Amino acid sequence: MEYLSIPMESSLTIKFRGAEAELLDRLVRSGLFATKSEAVRAALVKYGADLGLLRAKDLWAALKRNPRRRVSLAQLRRDVRKAEDAE
């Protein structure tokens, strides 16, 4: 069973204040993410994976099918490992 088999698109406007807004700014300024939207997407994927709603192999397969990202898959993997090692 593949969790990411249905292509969907959704738009959302969110306001962040305080610690959340500062964290988003730091994630972008650090260079880990190009945009705040990218950081929010990554957080959502991580949360879904932590809850068991998203399997890593399905995520990587979806990323390979969607080559629109500015960061290469290899660089993304390195960044993910670096972030996980920092925990």
What is the average pLDDT score of the chain? 80
Contact (Cβ atoms closer than 8 angstroms) between residue 33 and residue 27:
yes
pLDDT over threshold 70, residue 56:
yes
pLDDT value of position 1 = 43
16-49 residue pLDDT tens: 999 999 999 999 988 888 899 989 988 988 888 8
Which residue type sits at 80?
V
C-alpha to C-alpha distances, 4 to 15, 34, 47, nearest whole angstrom: 27, 24, 15
pLDDT value of position 6 = 53
Give the dihedral sign, CA 2/39/10/72. Answer: negative
Segments making up each domain of the chain, as ranges: 18-86
Confidence of residue 82 (pLDDT cuts 50, 70, 90): confident
Contact (Cβ atoms closer than 8 angstroms) between residue 50 and residue 56:
no
Specify the DSSP class assigned to residue 54: S
